[in-house]
């Protein structure tokens, strides 16, 4: 079972503000992109369409703490750690570390967290939380606390 995943990317000019620093909103986009890459790496669907319903993962909580800036051209590793697998939701921690000369920094420049709930359509256009399917449960497990609190 897997509890961690890393995704590396380069900061694009369009992701920076007038001061040349990555705009805060991009950290949330990067968290979601890393989560999507993680789920796909496990051979799982990001959204699945079951007969008569769609199963998805809307966010019920998202936050990020920023410690130092990233700028255009910087390379950043976005590290996903599964914090908790609950009955109907998964909590992820994301650590953002600058990469210089191929070395990933020890200290994160930011750390975020997302809670995603497994839902299905309720037949009236709404959503209802449902237990996490077994195909997810058999592939995903929580990382040791020391890994997601080391920042």
Buried-state track 101-127, b at ≥16 Cβ within 10 A, e below 16 = eeebeeebbbbbbbbbbbbbbeeeeeb
Does the annotation mark 65 as catalytic?
A: no
Candidate list 17, 65, 74, 134, residue with the active-site label:
17
Phi, psi of 53 (to 5 degrees): -155, 160
User: Which stretches within the chain are classed as H helix?
Assistant: 25-41, 134-137, 145-148
Q: Name which of 72, 67, 145 is nearest 106 in CA terms.
A: 67
Alpha carbon of 151 to those of 16, 49, 65, 70, 92: distances in Å?
24, 37, 11, 17, 14
Q: Which residues are catalytic?
A: 17
């Amino acid at each position: 079972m897997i509890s961690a995943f890393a995704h590396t990317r380069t900061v694009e000019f369009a992701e920076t503000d007038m001061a040349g620093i990555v705009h805060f909103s991009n950290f949330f986009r990067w968290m979601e992109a890393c989560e999507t890459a993680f789920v796909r790496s496990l051979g799982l669907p990001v959204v699945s369409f079951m007969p008569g319903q769609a199963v998805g993962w809307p966010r019920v909580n998202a936050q990020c703490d920023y410690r130092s800036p990233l700028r255009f051209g910087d390379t950043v590793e976005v590290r996903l750690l599964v914090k908790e697998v609950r009955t109907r939701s998964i909590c992820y921690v994301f650590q953002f570390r600058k990469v210089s000369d191929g070395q990933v920094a020890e200290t994160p420049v930011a750390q975020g967290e997302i809670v995603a709930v497994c839902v299905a359509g309720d037949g009236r256009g709404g959503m209802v939380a449902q237990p996490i399917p077994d195909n997810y449960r058999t592939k995903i497990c929580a990382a040791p606390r020391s890994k997601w609190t080391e920042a």
